[in-house]
């Protein structure tokens, strides 16, 4: 009698946790760049921006490269884990291109969400002009429209609407635009002032967000369904190893950081405005910039020791070349904030997402992502 009763309680507890998790946020849809790419670029044959080779993935559960620009899990993985993924054995939101590239892709289900993020992507089309072939934000949103259509077929119009209205739509994008503008050979830099550039970034993002919400190409706002947005501000890009190495002092590049600050100000204003324009929209804005600065300026408080050099790479600060198979990588990866010349380590990504999901109003406002997920749709 004791064993069956024990099994009953285990099953009951599992179902209770599953139900609570599903009610909190039934799906996660991720849009963005290499900070949250979980393998889409693996399926772009011509792309030069890939992480499907060593030493990427050295700390991932199966110790192999997955397409993540990281030694292990990236921010997208921890965002899912922040709700329920590892506790219930769910995978991260899978890369969209991996699902549609399968022979039986017409049977693919997107009910639990999907990731459209692509290394090299930016808010502007052409951000990957030098790096070649990424899924632009515009293309990512078009793919989402196709996913929404599939969900309507699977769940019915009303079912899809209810499902999507409770889901989280995460945007992690903008760093490549700023790094591209700040590049010494940038044509855009010669044509526009920094303020004009960030104004244009915000305006472009507004149009893309409206496309997601209103669905001008395929569906109306209520049929397309996006309501809850987790908007991640651009970090202190001037402090990544690729920018520090340009300074003889190895200090942060404040010109690049200035662009991040100004863009984030525009993004916050945009979100406040959109909330008044778009009925039912709610959002969480995450101040990546200042949380990352905390890791860099007070590393001991977070368990870090190395804040300037990349763990994996070649040359000064391991930032002259990316983390290629011929590069060396550090043994103390949990001590490093940066994995390569641009991307955080798994340890740093974990700290950032902890603040995104459960952070205080100092860094997440008007609410954190857990509160966003729990808010009435």
356: region left, alpha or beta (phi > 0 left; psi from -120 to 50 alpha): alpha
Range of lowest pLDDT (63-67, 231-235, 273-277): 273-277
pLDDT-derived band at 71 (thresholds 50, 70, 90) equals very high
Asked if 43 and 100 touch (Cβ cutoff 8 Å), the reply is no
- Sheet of 168-172: strand order equals 113-115, 28-32, 168-172, 228-232, 282-286, 364-365
pLDDT-derived band at 293 (thresholds 50, 70, 90) equals very high
In angstroms, rounded to a whole number, what is the distance separating the alpha carbons of residues 198 and 180? 12
**Tokens representing residue 247 in the block:** 């300074």
The mean predicted confidence, pLDDT, of the chain is 84
In angstroms, rounded to a whole number, what is the distance separating the alpha carbons of residues 280 and 16? 28
Q: What's the burial of 100, exposed, middle or buried (CB within 10 Å: 0-12/13-18/19+)?
A: middle
Q: What is the pLDDT of residue 128?
A: 63
pLDDT-derived band at 270 (thresholds 50, 70, 90) equals confident
Residues 6+ apart with CB under 8 A from 247: 253
- Known active-site residue 301: no
Query: Given a cut of 70, is residue 13 above it in pLDDT?
Result: no
In angstroms, rounded to a whole number, what is the distance separating the alpha carbons of residues 112 and 21? 11
Query: Given a cut of 90, is residue 223 above it in pLDDT?
Result: no
Options 43, 55, 336, 343, the catalytic residue: 343
Q: Which residues of 173-192 are buried (b: 16+ CB within 10 A; e: fewer)?
A: bbbbbbbbbbeeeeebeeee
Q: Percentage of the chain surpassing pLDDT 90?
A: 60
* Residue that is written with structure tokens 């969480």 in the block: 284
- Nearest Cα to 161, choosing from 171, 147, 151? 151
Options 33, 34, 43, 175, the catalytic residue: 34
Chain center to CA of 226: 17
Which phi and psi angles does 170 have, rounded to 5°?
Answer: -100, 135
pLDDT-derived band at 209 (thresholds 50, 70, 90) equals low
pLDDT-derived band at 207 (thresholds 50, 70, 90) equals low
Query: Given a cut of 90, is residue 33 above it in pLDDT?
Result: yes
Higher pLDDT, 257 or 2: 257
Q: Convert the pLDDT of each residue in 85-144 to its tens digit.
A: 443 334 568 999 999 988 777 677 899 999 999 999 988 877 665 555 899 888 888 899
- Known active-site residue 59: no
pLDDT-derived band at 240 (thresholds 50, 70, 90) equals very high
- Known active-site residue 340: yes
Options 98, 182, 340, 350, the catalytic residue: 340
In angstroms, rounded to a whole number, what is the distance separating the alpha carbons of residues 321 and 350? 25
Range of lowest pLDDT (133-137, 249-253, 307-311): 133-137
Q: What is the pLDDT of residue 111?
A: 92
Rounded to two decimals, the pTM is: 0.87
In angstroms, rounded to a whole number, what is the distance separating the alpha carbons of residues 289 and 278? 27
Q: What is the pLDDT of residue 275?
A: 85
Higher pLDDT, 361 or 91: 361
Query: Given a cut of 60, is residue 186 above it in pLDDT?
Result: no
Query: Given a cut of 50, is residue 155 above it in pLDDT?
Result: yes
């Amino acid at each position: 009698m004791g064993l069956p009763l024990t099994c009953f309680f285990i099953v009951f507890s599992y179902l209770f946790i599953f139900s609570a998790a599903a009610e909190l946020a039934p799906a996660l849809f991720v849009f963005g760049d290499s900070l949250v790419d979980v393998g889409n670029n693996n399926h772009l044959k011509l792309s030069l921006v890939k992480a499907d080779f060593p030493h990427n993935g050295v700390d991932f559960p199966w110790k192999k490269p997955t397409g993540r620009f990281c030694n292990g899990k990236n921010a997208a993985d921890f965002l899912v884990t922040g709700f329920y993924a590892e506790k219930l054995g769910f995978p991260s939101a899978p890369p969209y291109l991996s699902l549609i590239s399968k022979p039986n892709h017409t049977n693919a289900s997107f009910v639990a969400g999907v990731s459209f993020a692509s290394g090299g992507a930016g808010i502007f089309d052409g951000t990957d002009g030098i790096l070649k072939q990424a899924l632009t934000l515009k293309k990512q949103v078009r793919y989402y429209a196709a996913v929404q259509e599939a969900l309507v077929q699977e769940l019915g119009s009303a079912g899809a609407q209810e499902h999507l209205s409770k889901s989280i739509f995460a945007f992690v994008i903008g760093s490549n635009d700023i790094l591209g503008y700040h590049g010494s050979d940038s044509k855009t830099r010669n044509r526009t002032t920094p303020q004009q550039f960030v104004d244009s970034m915000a305006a472009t993002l507004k149009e893309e967000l409206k496309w997601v919400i209103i669905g001008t190409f395929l569906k109306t706002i209520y049929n397309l369904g996006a309501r809850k947005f987790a908007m991640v501000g651009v970090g202190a890009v001037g402090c990544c190893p690729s920018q520090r190495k340009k300074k003889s002092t190895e200090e942060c590049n404040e010109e690049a950081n200035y662009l991040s600050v100004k863009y984030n100000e525009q993004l916050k204003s945009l979100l406040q405005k959109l909330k008044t324009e778009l009925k039912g929209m709610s959002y969480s804005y995450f101040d990546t910039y200042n949380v990352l600065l905390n890791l860099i300026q007070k590393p001991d408080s977070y368990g870090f020791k190395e804040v300037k050099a990349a763990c994996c790479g070649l040359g000064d600060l391991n930032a002259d070349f990316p983390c290629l198979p011929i590069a060396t990588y550090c043994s103390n990866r949990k001590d490093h904030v940066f994995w390569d010349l641009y991307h955080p380590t798994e340890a740093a990504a974990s700290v950032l997402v902890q603040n995104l999901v459960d952070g205080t109003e100092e860094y997440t406002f008007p609410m954190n992502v857990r509160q966003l997920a729990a808010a009435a749709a």
